[in-house]
Each structure stands twice: as structure tokens, then as C-alpha cells.
């Protein structure tokens, strides 16, 4: 026999019955373990499927609840935010109203030099205090013939100018002239300050006007004062002072105890000073 013709000791060795029985036991255990693993795998898969279905149902219910809860929270949050904004607006409005009601107080630390200067006080105005110098130069629908001049002034309180009205030797009336800057004499009672009922008098006959005038005295010094003057307004029958007719539409100075008469009326108007 050649080299390769001799049987191998391993191959030539035959298996004993013991070895075959142990082999069968191992195979049986392997098959049993495989079956157990298969059963376990089957049960596990079935359990996972059942749990997944339960989770799906529960998850659907829970997801619906979550959506409802989120919606409620969102609605509640929107209402809360709107309420917060309205409360903020109300609070701001109340703060502004309180600030307007509170008086503004000047800060003591403010520099007095930076404060605006107060406007100068307006001096007393004694000009044009009667209705003779209204802007339209009308009174009760009647156009006035006379307009007071710029030098018109209210006479001083002392001495007090009075005009006594006489008829014969009887005093009919006393007029305090110091209360006005001008006095209109005439027959038209709608505009006359001192009515004259005599038919020879004109409707707007004459005016006694107080004027501020300046003069140069004997020492060459200028001095001023308020003096009474009379002016005839172009009457038909004229105005006389102490029996002399005064020129029309020109100022004639009156002095104490002067007697004024209008037209052909017999009434006498005497100027007097009371100190």
C-alpha cells in the first residue's frame, strides 16, 4: 500500500454509543432552547403590538386632552394679556389725570435769573372813559359829531369840579363833572349826557372836555395839568361864556365861576371848584 492508502487513525475510529447519546441530548437541548426563544420572541412581539395599540388609543385621548388644555391656556393667556393691557391703559390714564390736577410747583433749586420776567403792570388808563369815543363813533344808532382827542384825561379828585344849573335864582341841578372825561350837551336825549329841552338848542350842541395841557410859566418852566374846556359843535344858535360867544369847533378854556349858556335858553350853568 502506498502512503495514502493507509487508513487514518481518526477515520478509523468508530463512534461509541455514549458519544451518540450525548450528541442527541445536546441537539435536543438546542432545539428546545430555540423553541423557547421563538416562543419568547413571539410573546414579546405580541405584547409590544398590544402595548403599541393601547399607547395609540391612550395617546390619542391624551393628545386630544392636551390640545384642549393648550387651547384653554392660550385663550386664557390672550384674555389675560388683553386684561393686562386694559389695566395698564387705565393706570396710565389715571396717572395723567392726577398729574394734570396737581398744581405745578416751581423748583426751589431753579436759578432766579433764568425765570421769565413778569410783564410790567399796566398803568391806569384815564383816557376816553365816556361813550363819546366808542370805536364806531355811534351811540344808540346815532352818529356822534364829536370824538374825544388823544389828550383827553379824567380830572383829578381834588379839586372837585361841579356845574350848578340855575334858572333865575333857583338851583335846578348840580352836576359833578369829575366823574367823566367829557360831557355832551344837546336836545337829543339818546346821546346827550346833559339834555337841553329848549327848542333853540341843537341836538348835539356843545361838549365840556377835560384835557391834559402843558404850559410855560413866568419862570420859563413847563408845567402840565388837566383843565376843563368847552367846544361848540357848530350849533345853530351858538354857545356863550360870560355873555361872549365862543368860536365854533374850537376849544375854549373854562375857569372857576364862568357862566355858560346854550342857544336862547335862560338857564345858566356855573362852574365851581371845591377843594
Write out pLDDT tens, residues 142-151. 899 999 999 9
78-124 confidence digits (pLDDT tens): 555 666 677 778 888 888 777 777 666 554 555 555 556 666 665 55
| 156, 226 contact by CB (below 8 A) | yes
- Identify the bridge partners of residue 152 per DSSP, sorted by sequence position: 211
| 251, 209 contact by CB (below 8 A) | yes
31-86 confidence digits (pLDDT tens): 777 777 777 777 777 776 666 665 555 555 555 666 666 666 666 655 556 666 77
pLDDT at position 232 is 97
H helices of the chain, where?
Answer: 9-12, 17-101
203-261 confidence digits (pLDDT tens): 999 999 999 999 888 888 888 899 999 999 999 999 999 999 999 999 999 999 999 99
pLDDT at position 179 is 92
- Report the candidate in 273, 202, 190, 270 with the shortest Cα–Cα distance to residue 239: 202
From the CB of residue 161, how many other CB atoms can be counted at a distance below 10 Å? Answer: 22
- Report the alpha-carbon distance of residue 189 to residue 41 in Å, rounded: 133
Query: pTM of this prediction?
Result: 0.52
Instruction: For residue 64, give the C-alpha cell.
Output: 386630544
Burial zone of 203 (CB within 10 Å; 0-12 exposed, 13-18 middle, 19+ buried) = middle
165 or 137, which is more confident: 165
Architecture of domain 131-274: Sandwich (2.60)
12 or 182, which is more confident: 182
Amino acid at each position: 500500500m502506498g502512503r495514502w492508502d493507509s487508513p487514518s487513525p481518526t477515520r478509523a475510529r468508530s463512534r461509541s454509543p455514549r458519544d451518540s447519546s450525548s450528541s442527541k441530548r445536546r441537539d435536543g437541548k438546542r432545539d428546545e432552547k430555540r423553541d423557547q426563544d421563538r416562543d419568547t420572541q413571539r410573546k414579546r412581539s405580541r405584547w409590544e403590538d398590544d402595548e403599541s395599540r393601547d399607547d395609540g388609543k391612550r395617546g390619542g385621548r391624551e393628545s386630544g386632552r392636551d390640545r384642549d388644555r393648550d387651547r384653554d391656556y392660550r385663550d386664557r393667556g390672550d384674555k389675560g394679556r388683553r386684561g393686562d393691557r386694559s389695566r395698564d391703559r387705565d393706570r396710565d390714564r389715571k396717572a395723567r389725570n392726577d398729574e394734570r390736577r396737581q398744581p405745578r410747583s416751581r423748583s426751589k433749586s431753579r436759578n432766579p435769573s433764568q425765570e421769565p420776567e413778569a410783564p410790567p403792570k399796566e398803568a391806569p388808563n384815564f383816557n376816553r372813559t365816556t361813550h363819546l369815543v366808542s370805536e364806531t363813533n355811534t351811540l344808540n344808532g346815532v352818529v356822534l359829531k364829536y370824538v374825544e382827542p388823544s389828550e383827553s384825561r379824567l380830572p383829578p379828585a381834588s379839586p372837585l369840579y361841579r356845574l350848578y344849573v340855575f334858572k333865575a335864582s333857583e338851583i335846578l341841578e348840580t352836576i359833578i363833572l369829575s366823574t367823566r372825561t367829557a360831557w355832551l350837551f344837546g336836545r337829543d336825549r339818546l346821546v346827550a349826557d346833559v339834555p337841553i329841552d329848549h327848542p333853540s338848542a341843537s341836538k348835539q350842541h356843545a361838549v365840556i372836555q377835560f384835557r391834559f395841557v402843558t404850559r410855560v410859566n413866568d419862570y420859563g418852566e413847563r408845567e402840565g395839568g388837566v383843565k376843563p374846556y368847552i367846544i361848540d359843535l357848530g350849533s345853530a344858535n351858538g354857545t356863550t361864556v360870560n355873555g361872549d360867544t365862543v368860536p365854533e369847533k374850537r376849544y375854549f378854556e373854562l375857569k372857576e365861576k364862568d357862566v355858560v349858556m346854550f342857544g336862547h335858553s335862560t338857564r345858566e350853568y356855573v362852574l365851581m371848584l371845591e377843594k
